[in-house]
Amino acid sequence: MKIIADLHLHSRFSQATSKNTTLENLEKYAKIKGLTLLGTGDFQHPEWNKEIKKNLKEDNKGILWSKTNFPFIWQTEISFMYSQGGKRRAVHLIVFSPNGKTSEKIIDYLKSKGRIDYDGRPIFGINIKQFVKEVKEIDDKIEIIPAHAFTPWFGIYGSDSGFDSLEEAFGEQSKHIYAIESGMSADPQMIWRLKEFVNEKINVVSFSDSHSFWPWRLGREATLFDLEELSYENLIRAIRTSEGIIGTIETPPEYGKYHYDGHRKCNFSCSPEETLKLNGICPVCKNYLTIGVDYRIEKISLKERGFKPKNKKPFYKLTPLHELIAFYLKTTQLSGKKVWEIYNFLIEKFENEINILLNVSEEILRKELNEKEELIELILANREGKIDVAPGYDGVYGKIKFKGREFSLEEKKEEKEKQKKLF
């Protein structure tokens, strides 16, 4: 069975998340997006855990089902801050659990290390080598995946506090790491250049790390599976072996907030080549630049740009549909009324967003959108990877570029519009 999964989410109890995030809203917009499996997010948080148990029922295969028969798996993300090798380290890890009983054991373990009630993504001061060792002793079926692996501040390979390899990060416990999450600022073709991926020892998965249920966040990155049946065991086997992974959906890496180097406050960004010429110094404020993912991969890669391993999985670079419509309408308000009108029309016609972005033919699009030529062109160019993006940097999203125009996501305006719609 074909599955489109987003397995890295957060509840409303995590910092900087939509306070209207509920399991019901996650399911509703997952269906609109075209997703068929979700992570629960934040399963260790006491209040969210109660909601999971109240609203979802677990089967004997480790899958949680909603009242309307939509599947979830037990999932959370944990933050670790500690010192190793004389350097401050900060790493985020995704954790999957095979069932409720094991989830309770993980919760008890986390309680022994600190508080879990203050944030949906709690912070612990323990070494990730210790964490992996002790959690795997609870149950080897627990899966641990480095989250957004290349972002500067909290990625396992991050320029600010990360490592040059999984072995350096996890030591002998690296044998328990089977995959990493690409994150918005990297895609598989960039990641394949690293030693651990050239040898095809580690797989690449992609999930959204969504902090809301809106379809321009939820499922913006996802992994496509083909499993005999939906079970936790089959899902984890696919992640560990890559057999059963069809490919991934990625936002263009340039669109990510940490692709290029730069300074947000100085309104300055540059390529890795330019950073080298500048010796890593911002020409505006004369302080060190925030080093992005592109530079970081250049520094630690084994292969040249364009390298492809023999058994590579395909990936699809897709900008979310709301953002294409907003670009077409020349607005920065992703949740504006006119954007929703076109979006809802397309969903009504074509079932879900991923189907629109990947599958609906040009002929049918032209029939239904006969007066919206540029929107048709945007959807088709997006599908073919032909939309240019001015790279994001230092917390600033990239800008879509098409036919001489640029679209910049202004989150403050977007947030105001969200609040209008919600309340």
Same domain, 107 and 203: yes
Domain that holds residue 273: 262-289
Domain count, the chain: 3
- Supply the pLDDT for residue 52: 98
| Domain boundary residue, one of 289, 305, 334 | 289
Digit-coded pLDDT (tens) for 7-27? 999 999 999 999 999 999 999
Residues 276 and 352 placed together within one structural domain of the fold: no
Asked whether residue 311 is assigned to any structural domain, the reply reads no
274/260 Cα distance (integer angstroms): 10
In this prediction, residue 311 carries a pLDDT of: 87
DSSP of 329-381: HT-S-TT-HHHHHHHHHHHHHHSSHHHHHHTS-HHHHHHHSTT-HHHHHHHHH
Give the phi and the psi of residue 309 in degrees, each rounded to 5: -70, 160
> Is 160 in the same domain as 16?
yes
pLDDT for res 130: 98
345 token code pair: 């029309």
Residues 240, 123 share a domain: yes
> Do 330 and 267 fall within a single domain?
no
Is 314 contained in some domain?
no
Residues in the chain: 423
Tokens of 239: 């992640």
Structure tokens at 328: 């077409």
d(CA 379, CA 232): 34
Examine residue 305 and state whether it is found in any structural domain, yes or no. no
Are residues 135 and 231 both part of a single domain? yes
Give a yes or no: residue 308 inside a domain.
no
Q: Quick check: pTM over 0.85?
A: yes
Q: In this structure, is residue 114 part of a structural domain?
A: yes
Pair of tokens at residue 14: 């995590």
Which CATH number goes with the domain that contains 134? 3.20.20.140
User: Which stretches in the chain have pLDDT values below 70?
Assistant: 408-423
237 lies in the same domain as 350 = no
pLDDT (tens digit per residue) in 321-361: 999 999 999 998 899 999 999 999 999 999 999 999 999 99
Strands 57-58 and 64-65: antiparallel
270 and 248 inside one domain: no
Shared-domain flag, residues 267 and 250: no
Same domain for 80 and 223, yes or no, is: yes
Residue 315 inside a domain? The answer is: no
Q: Are residues 117 and 187 in the same domain?
A: yes
